[in-house]
Amino acid sequence: MTVRLHLRRIRVIDVVRDDEAELVVEVADSQSVKRCPSCGDRTAKVHEIRRRRVRDLPSLGRPTTLVVQVRRYQCQGCGHRFTPEHPELAGKITRRLARQLVSDVRKLTVRELARRHRLGWHYIMGVVHSWAETVGAQRRAERCRVLMVDETSLRRGHRYVTVLLNGETGAVLAIVKHRDAKALASFFIEQGRRWCRGVEVVVTDGSESYTAAIVRHLPAATHILDRFHVVRWFARGLIEVRRHLQRREPPGVTPAFDPEVFRARFLALKRADRLDDAERARLEAIFAARAELAKAWAMLQELYGLYAAEDLAGAEEHLDRFARMWEADPLPEFYRVASDIIRWAPEIFNFHRAGRWSNGRLEGTNNLLGLLKRMGFGFINAANFEARGILLIQGPGP
Ligand SMILES: [Zn+2]
């Protein structure tokens, strides 16, 4: 009975057990002449052989264990004794099993993997961590031209973390605890000035706290406020107007709740150029009797124009029209929208100045991170979330 392991530089010595439950194979390094690390002479003199068990990929569904002959050599030139490491068999599991675990952890929970491979949860998490560390370090060593900074919570509303992504590749660079200037600044300090100078564009989601760290550590980068975030701000004005309209009449007089307006609440947030004829007619009918809502809608459309515009000049025209409309009739519901725009104007218009970058391009990565969170039923440990987030995309590296 022969067993083929397809492992490089491995010789099968003996099949210890080969039945339905398990495969156990005794193996040895096929290279029997080694170079002495002390004097450089070659030697084949084995001083001592020990045996070590190493788990490998399952074979035909059975757990497979390699009993590895670990040889301790003695140099004939200088007498030095040494034990060479085999590249595939460095730890408790083969390198290819580690690679498989790291690849599977993107689709399965650690608990499921532990069950399938009959390995401990903590052991697998340790393998995942060490791979993620290597992959993450490699990624962070490379230049990142477009940096995306996103906050998320490990559990709904709890334990916030800052996710740092390479905007060009979608790869997670790091996930650091907290969502404040200090968290971001310590990441930049860790990365060093050379790396920071390489960042040309940074996209954030509009939290003031990040701005301080960006101004300080990425002074040369163009800071863009993420458009999806800003569009949510814009929509707030119209939503407020709609809510006020619905509640305007005292209960009992006329319906306090205007079902027609309520049912069109998502339609009213659509971009005008994306409405079909029927949708347009429906909105027009609603607006005919509700002038305030019509005004709010027209103002919102100008704000959408900030992004729909092809260039900076076009965006400025839309802002100008919005400003004039608001001046003519300053709907109080748009007060906060206007003040947010004034406060963040450079970061909003930088969208047109620096390549129209947006986190929306990384929807894939963000969705996967979301799935990961749900799959893990909320991570308690930010480090575990980081390790798995790093391996999520374009892993495994080494
Ligand atoms: Zn030697």
pLDDT at residue 243, rounded to an integer:
87
Calpha distance 101→111 (Å, rounded): 12
**Confidence band for 395, pLDDT divided at 50, 70 and 90:** very low
Residue 34 has pLDDT above 50, yes or no: yes
**Confidence band for 208, pLDDT divided at 50, 70 and 90:** confident
Distance 87 CA to ligand 1 centre (A): 22
pLDDT at residue 396, rounded to an integer:
43
Please answer whether residues 132 and 390 qualify as being in contact, where contact means their C-beta atoms are separated by less than 8 angstroms. Answer: yes
**Confidence band for 390, pLDDT divided at 50, 70 and 90:** confident
**CB neighbour list of residue 275: distance below 8 Å, 6 or more residues apart:** 267, 283
Considering only residues 215 and 207, tell me which one the structure prediction assigns the higher pLDDT.
Answer: 215
Distance 91 CA to ligand 1 centre (A): 26
Q: Which residue has the tokens 């590249």?
A: 87
Distance 9 CA to ligand 1 centre (A): 23
**Confidence band for 252, pLDDT divided at 50, 70 and 90:** low
Distance 46 CA to ligand 1 centre (A): 13
Calpha distance 320→177 (Å, rounded): 40
Compute the CA torsion angle 185, 190, 194, 197 (nearest 10 deg): -20
Distance 34 CA to ligand 1 centre (A): 10
Give the least confident one: 21-25, 149-153, 277-281, 282-286: 149-153
Distance 53 CA to ligand 1 centre (A): 28
pLDDT at residue 394, rounded to an integer:
56
Q: Which residues of 44-76 are buried (b: 16+ CB within 10 A; e: fewer)?
A: eeeeeeeeeebbbbbeeeebbbbbbbbbebebe
Instruction: Summarize the confidence of residues 51-60 as an average pLDDT.
Output: 92
Q: pTM of the entire structure?
A: 0.77
Positive or negative, the CA dihedral 26, 31, 37, 43 is positive
Please answer whether residues 136 and 390 qualify as being in contact, where contact means their C-beta atoms are separated by less than 8 angstroms. Answer: yes
Q: Which residue has the tokens 């725009």?
A: 341
Distance 43 CA to ligand 1 centre (A): 8
Distance 78 CA to ligand 1 centre (A): 4
Rounded to the nearest integer, the mean pLDDT of the chain is: 87
